[in-house]
Every structure is written in C-alpha cells, then in structure tokens.
Amino acid sequence: MSFLVFIGSVALCLVVSSALLQRFEEAAKADGSLSFLVIGDWGRKGAYNQSEVAFQMGVVGEQLKIDFVISTGDNFFDSGLRGIDDPAFDESFTKIYTSSSLQKQWYSVLGNHDYRGDVEAQLSPVLTNHHKRWLCLRSFIVNAEVAELFFVDTTPFVDKYFTEPGDHVYDWRGIGPRKTYISNLLKEVDLALQESNAKWKIVVGHHTIRSAGLHGDTDELVKQLLPILQANNIDLFINGHDHCL
Ligand SMILES: *[C@@H]1O[C@H](CO)[C@@H](O)[C@H](O)[C@H]1NC(C)=O
C-alpha cells in the first residue's frame, strides 16, 4: 500500500514539474527600471562586422548600464557547436564580447543553425559552469520584476527543417515526438503568460512571426504561437533569424 502511494506521489511530482518552465530571477534597478541589449545571429568568429557591433554594444551597454543581454539564437555559425570544447565558443563569444558592460548574464535561445550542431553542448551546464555569463536553454522564463520574459524554442515548429533538410543534419535529440513537444510547449507558455502579473510581458524566440525581411513570416508561428501571444496581450515579441542591423 505505501509502495503504491509512493509511486503515485513520484509520478505526480514529475507531471507537475514537467509542466513548469524553468524560472530565473533578475532584480530590476533601484528605480524599478530595467535595461538590456538584444542580439541574434552573431557567432562569426569576429567576421561580418561581429567585432565592430560587439564594440558598440560595449559602449551602449555602459551608457545604459544594462542588466543583461538577450541572444535570440543562431549563436554559432554555420552549424552550432561541435561539442563543449569547440574553440568556436571562445572565438565567437568569449574573445568577442570583451567589454566590461557585457560581462553580464546572457540569456540565449537556440536558432536553426544551432540545431545543426551538438545542441546538448550549447545547453550544457558544463559550459555555463566554465563561462558564468552563458546560459542557453530551449524554453524558460526570466522574471525581472517590471518585465517578465518568456523564451520560446521556435526551431522545432518549422516544418521545412523536417521535410526538406537538404544537406543539413539537425540534432533533434530531446525533442521526442515533435507534436507532443510543440503542444506541451504551447500549453506551458500559455499557462505561464496567463499567470504573469508583470507590467511588461515580453516573448523571445529565434524565428520571425511577421517579418518584411528576407525570410518573411513563419507560418507555423503565425498559426500556433501568435494566437496565444495575442490572447495574453503580450507587449513585445523579439526575434532574430532575419539579419537586419
Ligand atoms: C561591414 O561594415 C561595413 C561598413 O558598414 C560594410 O561596408 C561592410 O559591407 C560590412 N561587411 C560585412 C561582411 O558585412
């Protein structure tokens, strides 16, 4: 009898915790305000003006006294990281974002290019342990008092990476049955948004929802994610994918 009760409560705990996105707390400034920089599609080992942009981010970051940095994914071109020891991590991140104002927490999601490498490496706690400011997760929440930020893993939504991968090999480990992954994620984001009391609700993902840029709209997100964001009256959606400066 007690064995059964034990199993029952363990199962309940697993169900409850899997329904919650991991949360992180960021204190706002003394006056209640918050400032942060957002960058996406950046890991080029300094090329494509990455170093120049990094330098200016340092200057602006100092002026704004930023609290943290958001990365909207495509963190390492062309195919993510090869492993936790991939020198691309230092060549594209550590040795590029050297300004003192950028030595803050970075909150990152994955982009489609990251999914072409070793996804588990970018998400690895080992990497975060070695580089304290690095944190990349699939989907999570940052509660920053005046604002709550909801990070959403958008790559698994996009059909063409599954149906027409071309020469690319995507690392779908951890996605499991894709439909279940997406429906659970949408439910969790919806629930978290409903429960949020933050003045500003901000959603962050890699792919565009609506865009006049090169990639244009992401139809899967227009159909599946946008209605949830609208129903919950979010204030802002921040994405990368389209390269605009
Ligand atoms: C770097 O920036 C300069 C100045 O804006 C521009 O002319 C050049 O095309 C950029 N290089 C690349 C590779 O984007």
List, in sequence order, the alpha helices (H) in 75-166. 88-89, 119-123, 125-130, 160-163
Flag whether 244 is in a domain: no
Flag whether 169 is in a domain: yes
Give me 9's structure tokens.
């409560």
Would you say the CB of residue 56 lies under 6 angstroms from ligand 1?
A: no
Indicate the number of domains in the chain. 1
Tell me, what amino acid is at 57?
A: M
Expressed in angstroms and rounded, the spacing between residue 48 Cα and the centre of ligand 1 is 7
Encode pLDDT of 47-70 as tens digits.
999 999 999 999 999 999 999 999
pTM value is 0.91
**pLDDT for position 245:** 67
CA-CA distances (angstroms) from residue 223 to 105, 123, 208, 238? 32, 28, 13, 17
- Positive/negative CA dihedral, 229, 232, 233, 234: negative
Order the strands of the 147-152 sheet from edge to edge.
22-25, 140-144, 147-152, 200-205, 236-238
Answer for the pair 19, 192: CB distance below 8 angstroms, yes or no: no
Flag whether 69 is in a domain: yes
Q: Which atom of ligand 1 is nearest to the CA of 49?
A: 1
Is the pLDDT at 79 greater than 90? The verdict is yes
Answer for the pair 103, 134: CB distance below 8 angstroms, yes or no: no
Range of the domain at 169: 4-10+12-238
Is the pLDDT at 6 greater than 60? The verdict is no
| Percent of the chain clearing pLDDT 70 (strictly above) | 92
Q: What is the DSSP letter of 113?
A: T
Residue 19 banded pLDDT, cuts 50, 70, 90: low
Residue 143: count other Cβ atoms within 10 Å of its Cβ.
Answer: 14
Flag whether 243 is in a domain: no
Answer for the pair 50, 7: CB distance below 8 angstroms, yes or no: no
Expressed in angstroms and rounded, the spacing between residue 46 Cα and the centre of ligand 1 is 12
Q: What is the CATH number of the domain that holds 137?
A: 3.60.21.10
Is the pLDDT at 187 greater than 60? The verdict is yes
Flag whether 245 is in a domain: no
Among 206, 215, 241, 243, the active-site one is 215
Encode pLDDT of 89-129 as tens digits.
999 999 999 999 999 999 999 999 999 999 999 999 999 99
Encode pLDDT of 155-168 as tens digits.
999 999 999 999 99
Expressed in angstroms and rounded, the spacing between residue 47 Cα and the centre of ligand 1 is 9
